[in-house]
Amino acid sequence: MSASVPMARTLNLRYLETTPERAVVALPDQSEYHNHVGGPHAGAMFTLAESASGAVVLAAFADQLSRAVPLPVHAEVRYKKLAKGDLTATAELGRPVAEVLAELEGGERPEFPVTVAVTRADGDVTSEMTVVWTLRPHD
Average pLDDT for residues 102-129, to the nearest whole number?
A: 97
Strand partners, 78: 128
- Integer CA distances (angstroms), 73 to 8, 15, 17, 59, 89, in order: 20, 23, 24, 18, 20
* pLDDT 10s digits, 18-77: 999 999 999 999 999 999 998 999 999 999 999 999 999 999 999 999 999 999 999 999
Give the integer Cα–Cα distance in Å for 46 and 113: 16
pTM over 0.75: yes
DSSP-derived secondary structure letter, 64: G
Give the per-residue pLDDT at 4.
66
Region 6-137: CATH code: 3.10.129.10
Ordered by start, the domain boundaries in the chain are 6-137
Other CB atoms within a 10 A radius of the CB of residue 48 amount to 25
Question: How much of the chain, in percent, has pLDDT values that exceed 90?
Answer: 90
